[in-house]
Structure 1
Amino acid sequence: MLALPLLVLAGISIIALKLYYDKRRTSCLPLPPGPPPLPIIGNLHQAPASYPWRVFQQWSKQFGPIFKLQFGSNTIIMLGNHQAAHDLLDKRSSIYSSRPRVVMAAECLGQGMLTLLMPYGPRWRAHQRLQMSCLNKRVSQTYCALQEMESNQLLYDMLSTNNFTDGFRRYAAGLVFALAYGKRLSSIDSEDLKELDEIVENTLTTLKAGEWIVDLIPALNHLPRWLAPWKRHADKLRNFESRVYLKNFGNAIASRSWNWSKRVQGLANGQMPTLELAYDVGIIYEVSTDTTTIALEVFVLAAVLHPHVVRKAQAELEQVVGPDRLPIFGDKDRLPYIHAIIQEVLRWRPVAAGGVPHAVTEDDEYMGYRIPKGATVIANHWAISHDDELFPNPEIFDPERWILNPDLPIAAFGHGRRTCFGQHIARNSMFIIIARFLWAFDITCAHEERGGTKFWLVPDPMDMTQGFNSKPMPFKAEFLARSPHREGIIRRDWDTAEKDISIILDDIEQDQASQMGKA
C-alpha cells in the first residue's frame, strides 16, 4: 500500500529537481547580443528619434533575429523575423501574453481598465471574453450589411471630393459607433466623433515613449498628487474619457435597437461595474477606427504609385462583377487579386510598424540566450514584413507574392493571445472598400497646373508619421468615376440603401440569434 505514495513522492521530487536545474541552467545563459550599453542609462542614448523600426531592422541584421536593448532598468528583447516571433509569442503564448508596466497610460489614465494594456490574467480574460463576443470571426460576418451601407455613403461622398482621409475616418468611425452604441455618424463633423477622436489622441499622447518621467522611474508614482503633475494631467483626461464613455454607453442601453453595449451588459449579468463595461466598448472604438483608416490610406498610397496594380485589379473586377453592379461580400471568394492587395497593404506598411510590447512572465531560453522574467519582448512588424528571405524585394508593393504563396505570414495583427481582436471586421472593411473603390474610380496622383504645364504630386512612399501607429504623411490623390454609368449606379445604390440603423441592427441581432440556434 506504501508503493503508490512513494511513487508519487518520487515523481514530484524528479519534477522539482528538473525545474531547479533548468532554472539554474537558464540563469547561467547569456542575454542576447545588442548595442553596447552605458552604465545606468543603458542604450537610452542610442534610442532612435525617428523611424525606430527601421533602425531596429538594421540591428537585427547586425546582431541576429533576437537582440537586447537596455533602457534604464528595463530589458527590451527585440524579435526581428517571423520565426522568432512565432516561436516565442505564438508557441509559448502562455508566458508571453502579458504587458509591460506603463504607468502613465495604464495606471494614471486608464486606472487598470484599458484592456490593450492589462497584464495577462483572470481580469484580462474576463474583459477579453466580453469584447470577443462582439468581434469573433463568426459574429463579424453578421455586420456585412452595415459595412456595405456605410461603404455606399463613402462612394457617394467621394463623387464630389478627393478628401479620402476624412471619408475613411467617417466610414471607420461610423461603422464602429453604430455597432457599439446604436447610432449612426453620418458626418465627419459629428460632435460624438470629435469627442472620441480627442480620447484617442489623449491615449496616444500618454503612450508616447520617453514623454513621462514616471514611465522611466515608476517609483515616482507613489508621490502625492501635488508633487506629481502627471497624475493631475491624467485625472483631467480620465474624467473627460469616463464621462464620454458613460454617456455613450447609457444612451446605447436606452436605445431601441440592438448594440454591443447591450450585449456586454447582458453577458456581464451584473458581475462587472458599469464603468468597466463602458470602457470595454469604448476601447473597441479606440483601437479599431484609427487602424482601419490608416490601412485604407496605405491602399491609396499604393494605388497612386502602382497604376499597373490598379489596372490588374480592375480587370479581375470586370470579369467577376461586371459594370452593372457594385462588388458585394458574396464576390469575395472569386476575387483573389483583391485579397492579395489587402495582404500586401498590411505587409508593405504595417500600421503598428514597431510592434506591440509583450511581457514575459517566466525566465525563458531561446537560441541559447536567456530571456529574463519581466523583460519586454517586441516583435518588430516592420522587420518581419520586410524580411527579404520571406519577401524578396520587400520594398516593392507586389500583390503577386500572395498569389504565388497565400501562406506567407502577416505580422500586422500581432501575435499569440494578444492578437488584434478586431481583425475580422477590419479585413471585411478593407475588402468591401478596396473592391468598390477599384470598381468605381480611377485613382491617380494629384496634380498642379503651373504655367499651363501639369505637375504630378507624387508622394514619398517612405515618408511616414512617428508614434505607436504610423501612417503615410498627408498626400493628395484624385478619384475620377470610371464612367457615367458607374457613377449612376453609385448614386442609385445610395439613394435606395436602407439607412435606418435600427432596422439594420435588428437584422444583425436576428442573424446572430439564427447562428446560435444552428450551433
Structure 2
Amino acid sequence: MPQLHNLCISDNTQLVLGAAACLGVISGLPLPPSPPTWRFFGHIIPPRNPFLTVEGWINKYGPLITIRLGHVNIVIIGRYKAAVDIMENQGKSLADRPRMVAAGEIFSGGFSIGFAPFGERFRRMRRALHTHLQPKAAEAYQPLQMSHAKHTVLDILDDPYNFQNHVTTYAATIVMKVAYGKNTSTSATDPGVIEVNELIKMIIKIIRPGAYLVDSIPWLQYLPWYGRDLRRGFERNMKLNAGYMNRVKGQMQSDVDIGPSFARYMLESGHLYGLSEAEMAFLAGAFFGAGSTTTSASICTVFIAAACFPEEQAKVQTELDAVIGRHRAPTFADQQSLPRLQAFISEALRWRPVASGGFAHQTTKEVIWEKYCIPAGTIVFGNHWSISRDPEVYPEPHAFKPERWIDDQGHLRDDLKFFAYGFGRRVCPGQHVANRSIFINFVLILWAFRLALDPTQPLDDMGYMNGDVVGRPCAIEFEARIPETELRRMMHDYPEVA
C-alpha cells in the first residue's frame, strides 16, 4: 500500500531534475565513476525501462555510478552492500528530497508528503500517517482484508479475463475504507479511481527529466502563462482530495455513525500535528493514490510470477495442501506455517520490483563510502532493479528461485531482504498493510486456482513495473483446484466485514 508518492510511485518517475549540482568535495575523495557521454547535456536515459540502461552501467563501472543530467550530478546505487551502508546505515543523511518545482510546488501545491523536504513538517506528517499504518494498526485491518480478498476469488470465478480490474477493486476498496471509512466496494471503474490513475500518470510524466524547464529555471513558475497544465492538474488534485475530505466532514456533522478512518482522525485531531486542512486532505489522498496503485501492481506481479513459473507454483500448492488442505480456506493465522509461499512472494517482488528505479533522495551532508564521496546536496537513487540483481547476494540473479529465501531448516531466512518499500527514513509507511494485502490475496488465489499463461495472448512480464500500466501486460488462465460449487460455498462462508 502506500508509499504516498514517496511511498510507492513507479520506476518511470525516477531520474528527476532538482537540487544543486555537486560543487565541491570537502573530503578530497572523488565522486563515483561516471559512464562516458559525448552529449553536452549529459547522459541519455531512455523513457521506457530506464533501469536496464542503469543496470548495464552498474555492471560495467561498479556499485555506485554518477550520471549527469544538465548541470546536475546524480549518484545511483546499484548493489546490495552499498545500499545498506549508504541508504540504511547513513539514512539520516539521505532523508531529504530534491526540489521538484513542477511536480512538488505547482502540480501538488507544496502539500504532498512525497515531495516534502525533510524537516519538522515532514516528521509531523509521518507521525500522523503512522497512527493508521504502524504494525498494530495494520494488524487490525486483517479482517477487512480477508473479507475483500474473498471477493477477488469470486470475481475471478465469474470473470477471469479481467483479473487486473478485480485486484484494482480490492486495493481501492481497502484504501478507501482505511482513508475515508467508505464501506461500499470501490470498483476499478469508479470515477474517483479513474481520476486518481489519471493524476498519477500526469505525475509520472511531469517528473521525467527535462519534462519541464521550470525544474532548471525555477523563476518560470511566476510567469502567469507558464505551466497551465500543471496548474489545472493541481486544481483537479485539490478538488478530488478536498471532495473526499468534505464528504467525511459532512458525515461527521450528521447523526450517522460513520466509524473510524484516517480522514476522520485528521479532522478531529489534525491540530495536534499542526497541519492545514489542505495538507490533511492531500495526506488522506495519498492513501488512495499511492496505496491502491502500488498494492494492485504488486499483487498482479505475484500472479504473473505464478503463471510464468508453474513448477514453483506447484511447490507452493503442495505446501498449501499439506498445511491447509482443500476443505477450508486459508487465513492470516496460517501465514507463519507457509514459508515457501512467503518466499515465493519475496522472490516475485525481487524478480520484477514494482518501483524498479527507486526514488529520489538528497544528501544533507557529505557521505563517504569506501573510496568515494557523495557531496551534500547530491541527488541519490537506490536502483531497485540493479540491487535485486547483485550476484553476490542473489546468485543467478535473473533466475526465479524462491528457495534462495529459505534456510537449511526450511524456515524463511532472516539475513536476507529486498528493499521493495524503499530505504531509511523515507521507507514506505504503508508496508505493513501492503504486505498483508499481498499475502491474503495470493494465498487465497493459489489455494483456489492453478494459474497459467494464455499462450494465445502477448506477455509483458515487466508490465506492472511501470506505474503507467497501459492495457493488459498479460492474460492469465485460472483453473479451479476445488469444485466450483464447493469453492463458492467456502467463499460465501468466509469471514465477512461490513
Amino acid of the structure 2 residue aligned with 1:206: I
Matches within 5 A, 1:94-173: 94-162=92-160, 163-173=162-172
More helix by share: 1
Supply the distance in 2 between the matched residues of 1:160 and 1:378 (Cα, whole angstroms): 43
Corresponding residue pairs, total: 462
What displacement does 1:344 show? Answer: 0.7
Counterpart of 2:30 in structure 1 is: 30
What displacement does 1:221 show? Answer: 2.7
Counterpart of 2:303 in structure 1 is: 300
State the Cα deviation string for residues 79-137 of structure 1 (Å, max 9, x = none): 11111111111111121110111111101111211111111111111111111111111
Amino acid of the structure 2 residue aligned with 1:201: K
Larger RCO: Structure 1 or Structure 2 (Cα < 8 Å, ≥ 6 residues apart)? 2
What displacement does 1:331 show? Answer: 0.6
1:381 to 380, 384, 400: 384
Query: Contact between 1:66 and 1:84, CA under 8 Å: does it hold in 2?
Result: yes
Residue 240 in 1 paired to residue 239 in 2?
Answer: no
TM-score with structure 2 length normalisation?
Answer: 0.87
Residue 210 in 1 paired to residue 210 in 2?
Answer: yes
TM-score with structure 1 length normalisation?
Answer: 0.84
What displacement does 1:254 show? Answer: 3.6
Q: 1:337 to 1:458 in 2, by over 3 A?
A: farther
2:271 to 269, 272, 281: 269
Look up the SS of the partner of 2:142 in the other structure.
Answer: helix
Matches within 5 A, 1:466-477: 474-477=473-476
Residue 179 in 1 paired to residue 178 in 2?
Answer: yes
Residue 322 in 1 paired to residue 325 in 2?
Answer: yes
Supply the distance in 2 between the matched residues of 1:365 and 1:331 (Cα, whole angstroms): 44
Matches within 5 A, 1:16-95: 26-38=26-38, 40-43=40-43, 46-95=44-93
Query: Contact between 1:153 and 1:494, CA under 8 Å: does it hold in 2?
Result: no
Amino acid of the structure 2 residue aligned with 1:68: T
State the Cα deviation string for residues 404-460 of structure 1 (Å, max 9, x = none): 344212121111000111111111011101100011011111144xxxxxxxx4735
Look up the SS of the partner of 2:91 in the other structure.
Answer: coil
What displacement does 1:168 show? Answer: 0.8
Look up the SS of the partner of 1:196 in the other structure.
Answer: helix
What displacement does 1:348 show? Answer: 0.6
What displacement does 1:50 show? Answer: 3.0
Supply the distance in 2 between the matched residues of 1:169 and 1:402 (Cα, whole angstroms): 28
Supply the distance in 2 between the matched residues of 1:496 and 1:26 (Cα, whole angstroms): 62
Counterpart of 1:5 in structure 2 is: none
Query: Contact between 1:465 and 1:471, CA under 8 Å: does it hold in 2?
Result: no
Q: 1:107 to 1:312 in 2, by over 3 A?
A: same
Supply the distance in 2 between the matched residues of 1:238 and 1:458 (Cα, whole angstroms): 37
Supply the distance in 2 between the matched residues of 1:157 and 1:243 (Cα, whole angstroms): 32
Amino acid of the structure 2 residue aligned with 1:436: L
What displacement does 1:280 show? Answer: 0.6
State the Cα deviation string for residues 203-255 of structure 1 (Å, max 9, x = none): 3232233322222x2334354112x1x2x211111111111111111222343
Amino acid of the structure 2 residue aligned with 1:363: E
Supply the distance in 1 between the matched residues of 2:467 and 2:167 (Cα, whole angstroms): 20
Supply the distance in 2 between the matched residues of 1:385 and 1:445 (Cα, whole angstroms): 25
Residue 188 in 1 paired to residue 191 in 2?
Answer: no
Q: 1:339 to 1:466 in 2, by over 3 A?
A: closer
How well do the aligned residues superpose, as a CA RMSD in angstroms?
2.3
Structure possessing the higher radius of gyration over alpha carbons: 1
Supply the distance in 2 between the matched residues of 1:203 and 1:487 (Cα, whole angstroms): 45
Query: Contact between 2:329 and 2:494, CA under 8 Å: does it hold in 1?
Result: no
Percent same amino acid among aligned pairs? 30
Counterpart of 1:11 in structure 2 is: none
Query: Contact between 2:78 and 2:383, CA under 8 Å: does it hold in 1?
Result: yes
Q: 1:398 to 1:335 in 2, by over 3 A?
A: same
Amino acid of the structure 2 residue aligned with 1:446: D
State the Cα deviation string for residues 322-362 of structure 1 (Å, max 9, x = none): 11111100111111111101111111110110111100011
Counterpart of 1:452 in structure 2 is: none
State the Cα deviation string for residues 487-513 of structure 1 (Å, max 9, x = none): 52434533675352xxxxxxxxxxxxx
Query: Contact between 2:172 and 2:186, CA under 8 Å: does it hold in 1?
Result: no
Supply the distance in 1 between the matched residues of 2:328 and 2:319 (Cα, whole angstroms): 14
Amino acid of the structure 2 residue aligned with 1:34: S
Query: Contact between 1:69 and 1:77, CA under 8 Å: does it hold in 2?
Result: yes
Please list every run of 5 or more consecutive structure 1 residues that lacks an aligned counterpart in the other structure.
Answer: 1-22, 449-456, 501-519
Counterpart of 1:288 in structure 2 is: 291
Counterpart of 1:493 in structure 2 is: 491
Counterpart of 1:371 in structure 2 is: 374
Supply the distance in 1 between the matched residues of 2:287 and 2:488 (Cα, whole angstroms): 30
Residue 278 in 1 paired to residue 287 in 2?
Answer: no
Amino acid of the structure 2 residue aligned with 1:245: N
Matches within 5 A, 1:377-416: 377-404=380-407, 405-416=413-424
Supply the distance in 2 between the matched residues of 1:471 and 1:72 (Cα, whole angstroms): 30
